[in-house]
Amino acid sequence: MEQIEIGTSGLKTSRIGLGTWAIGGWMWGGTDEAQSIATIRSAVERGVTLIDTAPAYGFGRSEEIIGKALAEGNLRDKVQIATKLGLAWKNGNVYRDSRPARIRNEIEDSLRRLRTDVIDLYQVHWPDLETPIADTAEALEELRREGKIRAIGVSNYTPAQMDAFRKVARLDAVQPPYNLLEREIEADVLPYAKGAGLTVLSYGSLCRGLLTGAITATTKFVGDDLRKNDPKFQPPRLPQYLAAVRELDALARQRFGKTVLALAVRWVLDQGPTIALWGARKPSQLDAIGDVDGWHVDDKAKAEIDAILKRSVTNPISPAFMAPPEKRPPTAA
Domain positions in the chain are: 3-212+262-295
Measured between alpha carbons, how far is 57 from 155 in angstroms, rounded to an integer? 15
pLDDT, averaged across the chain = 95
Tell me the average pLDDT across 88-108: 93
More confident call, 62 vs 31: 62
User: CA gyration radius for the chain?
Assistant: 19
Choose the weakest-confidence range: 56-70, 196-210, 221-235: 221-235
Assess whether pLDDT exceeds 80 at residue 105.
yes
pLDDT at 321: 82
Catalytic: 57?
A: yes
For 249-259, the pLDDT digits (tens) are 999 999 999 99
pLDDT at residue 170 greater than cutoff 70: yes
Mean pLDDT of 155-168: 98
pLDDT tens for 5-53 read: 999 999 999 999 999 988 987 666 777 899 999 999 999 999 999 999 9
Contacts of 180 (CB under 8 A, 6+ apart): 207, 211, 248, 263, 264, 267, 268, 305, 309
Is residue 128 a contact partner of residue 86, using CB atoms and an 8 Å limit?
yes
CB of 129 within 8 A of CB of 99? no
Amino acid residing at 127: P
pLDDT on residue 29: 74
The predicted pLDDT at position 329 comes to: 87
Question: Where does the pLDDT of residue 142 fall: very low under 50, low under 70, confident under 90, or very high at 90 and above?
Answer: very high
Q: What is the pLDDT of residues 260-298, one digit of tens each?
A: 999 999 999 999 999 999 999 999 999 999 999 999 999
Contact 80, 119 (CB under 8 A): no
pLDDT band at 309 (very low <50, low <70, confident <90, very high): very high
Mean pLDDT in residue range 80-105: 94
Which pLDDT value is given to residue 331?
76
Q: What is the dihedral of CA 289, 210, 302, 270, to 10 degrees?
A: -40
Q: Decide if pLDDT at 92 tops 90.
A: no
Q: What is the pLDDT of residue 223?
A: 87
Confidence of residue 129 (pLDDT cuts 50, 70, 90): very high
Higher pLDDT among residues 88 and 321, named by residue: 88
Query: In this structure, how many other beta carbons lie within 10 angstroms of the beta carbon of residue 302?
Result: 14
Number of Cβ within a 10 Å radius of residue 225: 17
- Active-site hit among 57, 95, 157, 192: 57
Give the per-residue pLDDT at 187: 97
312 in Cβ contact with 244 (< 8 Å): yes
Question: Residue 279 burial (CB < 10 Å; 0-12/13-18/19+)?
Answer: buried
Looking at residue 40, its pLDDT comes to 97
Q: Where are the beta strands (DSSP E) in the chain?
A: 3-5, 12-14, 16-19, 50-52, 80-85, 87-90, 93-96, 119-124, 149-155, 173-175, 199-202, 274-279
- Cβ atoms of 103 and 56 closer than 8 Å: no
The closest alpha carbon to 111, from 73, 153, 143, belongs to 143
pLDDT at 26: 65
Cα distance between residue 153 and residue 226, in whole Å: 25
Length of the chain: 333
pLDDT above 90 covers what percent of the chain?
87
Residue 282 has what DSSP assignment?
S
Which residues does 37 contact at the CB level (< 8 Å), separation at least 6? 65, 68, 69, 72, 73
- CATH number (3.20.20.100, 3.30.1490.190, 3.40.980.10, 3.30.230.10) of 3-212+262-295 reads 3.20.20.100
Residue 53 confidence (pLDDT) = 97
What secondary structure does DSSP assign to 41-92, as a single string?
A: HHHHHTT--EEE--TTTTTTHHHHHHHHHHHHTT-GGG-EEEEEE-EEEETT
By C-alpha distance, which of 53, 66, 50, 48 is closest to 11? Answer: 50
